[in-house]
């Protein structure tokens, strides 16, 4: 009997590798093929509009345009030149300063609006949500033109106020243009972030609020103990989105110089504007491609650092 058991175990052990090498059942293969068929359109579109342009930009960044003789292969010379380019770092420093000031203000305002709407003490909550979100639906170019006309001193509200009050305040001087752009961006994207915060607050179980009310918790205690912990994860997401958006700032500094004089906007005001002018005005496509890739790497590094640290703090508490 023992010998028969040993033979059965040996047979099972010898059959296991063979069973592992058997092809998957037809039903499982069909499921895998169906799944691949569903993701194939997205994968093809993702490769076409994302992967291929990045690879082509990396290829262009290895060349330098010559007036005679076409493109010349220069290897990493464009990157070496970029690291030593003061105009590039001036634009990077400007968007970093803009991000450090504009993003906190915008998110604080968005959070305050979301908390006000969630408190159920605001009449016409649906109308208020739509009204606050509406600026996000306005195209960035249209919004820039609108604010340029509104804040311009030759025409619009500020020009009329200066005439009426005898002042000469100009929102688009070299020292105030970045602040004016911050007003435009805050107006446009506060509603988007507000909706994210509001959706998170609406997902909080009402039983928690009822328990807090029974325990005698006030509004501040409810905010600190229930609402703020619920908003931590969404706050990290909105910070990442905002950083990516501000690092890509282009429309406002591109359009404003044609509307106002002495705005202080240069061809290298932001990295994106600098890359655009290099590629389409200076015919330096290789250098512009290197700039774009380096700026993308900086943006990814900053967003990744915020994500890792922010999510860790959000879930540790």
Confirm whether 47 is domain-assigned. no
* Mean pLDDT computed over 36-62: 90
pLDDT(130) > 70 = yes
Confirm whether 182 is domain-assigned. yes
pLDDT score of 308: 75
Confirm whether 37 is domain-assigned. no
Confirm whether 223 is domain-assigned. yes
**Residue from 181, 187, 158 nearest 170 by CA:** 158
CATH of residue 155's domain is 1.10.3720.10
* Mean pLDDT computed over 236-251: 91
pLDDT score of 25: 62
The answer to pTM > 0.75 is: yes
Residues ≥6 apart with Cβ < 8 Å to 185: 102, 106, 245, 246, 249, 252
pLDDT(13) > 60 = no
| 139 phi and psi angles, rounded to 5 deg | -55, 145
pLDDT: which is higher, 144 or 70: 144
pLDDT score of 9: 45
Confirm whether 163 is domain-assigned. yes
How many domains does the chain contain in total? 1
Confirm whether 1 is domain-assigned. no
pLDDT score of 6: 52
Alpha helices in 119-215 (DSSP H): 125-137, 140-151, 156-165, 177-202, 206-214
pLDDT (tens digit per residue) in 131-182: 999 999 999 889 998 998 888 887 778 888 888 888 888 888 888 999 999 9
Give the helix, strand, coil percentages of the chain, each rounded to 5: 75, 0, 20
pLDDT (tens digit per residue) in 261-275: 788 899 999 999 999
Q: Binning pLDDT at 50, 70 and 90, where does residue 314 land?
A: low
The domain of 182 spans 77-316
Structure-block tokens of residue 224? 């600190």
pLDDT(74) > 90 = no
pLDDT score of 263: 84
pLDDT: which is higher, 10 or 313: 313
Q: Binning pLDDT at 50, 70 and 90, where does residue 33 land?
A: confident
Confirm whether 208 is domain-assigned. yes
pLDDT(7) > 50 = no
Answer for the pair 268, 277: CB distance below 8 angstroms, yes or no: yes
Beta bridge partners of 65: 71
Confirm whether 234 is domain-assigned. yes
Residues ≥6 apart with Cβ < 8 Å to 250: 270, 272, 273, 276
Return the biggest CA–CA distance within the chain: 111
Arithmetic mean of pLDDT over the chain: 84
């Amino acid at each position: 009997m023992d010998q028969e058991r040993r033979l059965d175990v040996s047979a099972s052990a010898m059959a296991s590798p063979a069973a592992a090498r058997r092809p998957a059942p037809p039903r499982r293969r069909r499921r895998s093929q169906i799944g691949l068929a569903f993701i194939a359109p997205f994968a093809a579109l993702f490769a076409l509009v994302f992967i291929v342009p990045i690879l082509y930009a990396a290829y262009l960044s290895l060349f330098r345009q010559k007036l005679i003789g076409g493109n010349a292969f220069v290897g990493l010379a464009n990157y070496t030149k970029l690291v030593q380019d003061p105009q590039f770092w001036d634009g990077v420093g400007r968007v970093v300063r803009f991000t450090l000031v504009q993003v906190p203000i915008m998110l604080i305002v968005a959070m305050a609006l979301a908390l006000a709407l969630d408190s159920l003490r605001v009449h016409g909550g649906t109308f208020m949500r739509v009204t606050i979100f509406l600026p996000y639906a306005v195209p960035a170019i249209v919004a820039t033109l609108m604010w340029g006309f509104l804040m311009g001193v030759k025409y619009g509200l500020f020009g009329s106020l200066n005439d009426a009050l005898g002042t000469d305040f100009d929102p688009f001087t070299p020292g105030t243009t970045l602040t004016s752009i911050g007003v435009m961006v805050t107006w446009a994207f506060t509603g988007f972030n507000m909706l994210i915060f509001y959706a998170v607050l609406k997902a909080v179980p009402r039983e928690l609020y009822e328990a807090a009310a029974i325990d005698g918790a006030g509004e501040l205690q409810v905010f600190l103990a229930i609402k703020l912990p619920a908003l931590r994860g969404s706050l990290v997401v909105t910070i990442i989105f905002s950083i990516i958006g501000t690092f890509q700032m282009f429309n406002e500094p591109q359009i404003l110089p044609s509307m106002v004089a002495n705005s202080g906007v240069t061809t290298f005001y932001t990295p994106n504007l600098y890359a655009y002018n290099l590629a389409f005005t200076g015919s330096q496509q290789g250098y512009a491609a290197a700039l774009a890739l380096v700026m993308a790497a900086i943006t990814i590094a900053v967003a990744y650092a915020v994500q890792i640290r922010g999510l860790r703090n959000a879930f540790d508490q």
